[in-house]
Amino acid sequence: MIIRFSYNYCKMPPGYSESELLEVFRVRADTLSKHFIDWNTKKRDGTFFILPKFDWALVLLLRTRSTGLVWTTIRAAYDDVEANYRSRIGEYFECVVT
């Protein structure tokens, strides 16, 4: 399965392109700290991706296959998307910038 990103983000560690999904956290979007959001949305060019407004978020906890580094990404929490990610915990994803 593929996780697509629109930009290269600073959070993406070496070897990010093949990462294992370790956990899926469903959280209220308004409980995420500004520091965490900034870390997740800072692009390599120094600008920030503006997250769309949504009530619930999924925080995907990922670990790179090659380096073992852990990282996260924030996604909108739609029921079908959440169920799909949860059913794939433990699987490796191809993470690509499109």
Summarize pLDDT for 30-51 with one digit per residue, the tens.
Answer: 999 999 999 999 999 999 999 9
Most distant CA atoms of the chain, gap in Å: 34
Average of per-residue pLDDT across 56-71: 98
Distance, in Å, from the CA atom of 61 to the CA atom of 74, rounded to the nearest integer, reads 9
Q: Determine contact, residues 6/33, Cβ cutoff 8 Å.
A: no
Distance, in Å, from the CA atom of 87 to the CA atom of 24, rounded to the nearest integer, reads 10
pLDDT at 72 (0 to 100): 98
What is this structure's pTM?
A: 0.95
71 bridge partner residues: 62
Q: Determine contact, residues 95/15, Cβ cutoff 8 Å.
A: no
